[in-house]
Amino acid sequence: MTFDSIVNSIKIIIDVLLVWLVIYYILKSLSKNVKMVLLFKGIVFIFILKVLSDVFNLVTIGFLLDYVIQWGILALIVIFQPEIRNVLEQLGRSQLLGRHKTLTVDERERVVHEIVIAMDSLRKTRTGALIVIERDNSLNDYIQKSKKIYADISSDLLMSIFFPNNPLHDGGVIIQGDKITCARSVFPTSENSKIIKRLGTRHRAALGIAEITDCISLIVSEETGRLSMAIGGELHYNLTPDEIRVMLLEELSPKKTMIVEEEEVDSDESSN
Give 89-107 pLDDT, tens digit per residue: 655 555 443 444 578 899 9
Q: Is residue 264 over pLDDT 70?
A: no
Q: Which pLDDT band holds residue 262 (cuts at 50, 70, 90)?
A: very low
The topology under which CATH files domain 105-254 is YojJ-like (1 (3.40.1700)
Residue pair 224/242 in contact (Cβ under 8 Å)? The answer is: no
Instruction: Tell me the three state secondary structure of residue 169.
Output: coil
Q: Which pLDDT band holds residue 61 (cuts at 50, 70, 90)?
A: confident
Percent of the chain at pLDDT exceeding 70: 81
Q: In this predicted structure, what is the pLDDT of residue 97?
A: 39
Please tell me the pTM assigned to this model: 0.64
Task: Please write the tens of the pLDDT for every residue from 198-240.
Answer: 888 999 999 999 988 889 999 999 999 999 999 988 999 999 9
Highest mean pLDDT (candidates 3-17, 30-44, 203-217, 251-265): 203-217
Backbone angles phi, psi at 37, to 5 degrees: -65, -45
Q: Is residue 267 over pLDDT 60?
A: no
pLDDT greater at residue 207 or residue 193: 207
| DSSP line for 20-33 | HHHHHHHHHHHTT-
Q: In this predicted structure, what is the pLDDT of residue 1?
A: 64
Q: Which pLDDT band holds residue 21 (cuts at 50, 70, 90)?
A: confident
> What are the residue boundaries of the structural domains of the chain, listed by start?
3-93, 105-254
Q: Which pLDDT band holds residue 11 (cuts at 50, 70, 90)?
A: confident
Q: What is the mean pLDDT of the chain?
A: 83
Residue 90, CA distances (Å) to 25, 94, 270 in order: 9, 6, 42
Instruction: Tell me the three state secondary structure of residue 75.
Output: helix
Ranges assigned E (strand) in 30-178? 129-133, 147-152, 172-176
Q: In this predicted structure, what is the pLDDT of residue 269?
A: 46
pLDDT greater at residue 125 or residue 91: 125
Q: Which pLDDT band holds residue 31 (cuts at 50, 70, 90)?
A: low
Torsion angle defined by CA atoms of residues 96, 97, 101 and 102, in that order, rounded to the nearest 10 degrees = 110
Q: Which pLDDT band holds residue 265 (cuts at 50, 70, 90)?
A: very low
Backbone angles phi, psi at 127, to 5 degrees: -100, 120
Q: In this predicted structure, what is the pLDDT of residue 102?
A: 72
Residue pair 36/83 in contact (Cβ under 8 Å)? The answer is: yes
pLDDT greater at residue 197 or residue 174: 174
Cα–Cα distance measured from residue 237 to residue 240, given in angstroms and rounded to the nearest whole number: 10
Task: Please write the tens of the pLDDT for every residue from 148-191.
Answer: 999 999 999 999 999 998 999 899 999 999 999 999 999 999 88
Q: In this predicted structure, what is the pLDDT of residue 220?
A: 97
